[in-house]
Amino acid sequence: MSVTSPLLQASDACVLEGLRAIVGEKACIEVASDMQPFTTDYRKLYHGKALAVVLPADTQQVSAVLALCFEHNIPVVPQGGNTSLMGGAVPDGAGNAVVLNLRRMNQVQEIDLLNDTMTLQAGVTLQAARAAAEDAGRLFPLRIGSEGSCQIGGNLSTNAGGTAVLRYGNMRDLTLGIEAVLPDGRIYSSLRGLRKDNTGYDLKQLFIGSEGTLGIITAAVLKLMPLPTASAVAWVAVDNPHAAVELLTEAKRVAGQAVTAFELISGPALTLVLESMPQLSAPLPAAHDWMVLIELTSGGDAESLDAMLMGILEQGMERGLVTDAAVAASLADARAFWMLREEISDAQTRAGGSIKCDISIPLSKIADFIAVASAQVLALAPDARMVIYGHMGDGNVHFNPLRPKDVTPALFLAENYARVSHAVDGLATRQNGSISAEHGIGVAKRDDLLDCKSSVELELMWQVKRALDPKHLLNPGKVLPGLPGTA
Give the nearest distance from C-beta 359 to ligand MLT in angstroms.
11
Give the nearest distance from C-beta 195 to ligand MLT in angstroms.
28
Give the nearest distance from C-beta 400 to ligand MLT in angstroms.
7
Q: Which residues, at least 6 apart from 361, have a Cβ–Cβ distance to it below 8 Å?
A: 369, 395, 397, 428, 431, 432, 433
- The rounded distance, in Å, linking the Cα atoms of 344 and 42 is 15
Closer residue to ligand MLT, CB minimum distance, 15 or 86: 86
Give the nearest distance from C-beta 398 to ligand MLT in angstroms.
4
| Whether the Cβ atoms of residue 344 and residue 269 lie closer than 8 Å to each other | yes
Closer residue to ligand MLT, CB minimum distance, 116 or 342: 342
Length of the chain (residues): 487
Give the nearest distance from C-beta 267 to ligand MLT in angstroms.
17
Q: Which residues, at least 6 apart from 202, have a Cβ–Cβ distance to it below 8 Å?
A: none
Residues in 306-345 at the binding interface with ligand MLT, rule: CB under 6 A: 344-345
Is residue 85 within the footprint of ligand MLT (CB under 6 A)? yes
Angle at 484 between CA 36 and CA 182, to 5 degrees: 60
Closer residue to ligand MLT, CB minimum distance, 48 or 161: 161
Q: Cα–Cα distances in Å, from 381 out to 131, 291, 373?
A: 44, 24, 12
What sign for the dihedral angle of Cα 13, 14, 20, 25? positive
| Whether the Cβ atoms of residue 120 and residue 108 lie closer than 8 Å to each other | yes
Closer residue to ligand MLT, CB minimum distance, 217 or 388: 388
Closer residue to ligand MLT, CB minimum distance, 233 or 473: 233
Closer residue to ligand MLT, CB minimum distance, 170 or 297: 170
Residues in 154-213 at the binding interface with ligand MLT, rule: CB under 6 A: none
Closer residue to ligand MLT, CB minimum distance, 116 or 263: 263
Q: Per-residue x/- mask for ligand MLT, residues 230 to 269, rule CB under 6 A?
A: ----------------------------------------
Q: Per-residue x/- mask for ligand MLT, residues 349 to 388, rule CB under 6 A?
A: ----------------------------------------
Helix (H) or strand (E) holding 372: helix 363-380
Q: Which residues, at least 6 apart from 394, have a Cβ–Cβ distance to it below 8 Å?
A: 161, 165, 166, 360
Name which position in 75, 141, 145, 215 contacts ligand MLT (CB under 6 A): 145
Give the nearest distance from C-beta 270 to ligand MLT in angstroms.
13
Helix (H) or strand (E) holding 1: none
Give the nearest distance from C-beta 96 to ligand MLT in angstroms.
31
Residues in 383-442 at the binding interface with ligand MLT, rule: CB under 6 A: 390, 398
| Pairing assessment for the beta strands 175-181 and 216-223 based on DSSP bridges | antiparallel
> Helix, strand, coil % (nearest 5) of the chain?
40, 20, 40
For residue 101, the SS3 value is: strand
Give the nearest distance from C-beta 108 to ligand MLT in angstroms.
25
| Whether the Cβ atoms of residue 142 and residue 261 lie closer than 8 Å to each other | no
Closer residue to ligand MLT, CB minimum distance, 263 or 306: 263
CB nearest ligand MLT: which residue?
345
Q: Site size for ligand MLT, by CB under 6 A?
A: 6
Contacting residues toward ligand MLT, per CB under 6 A: 85, 145, 344-345, 390, 398
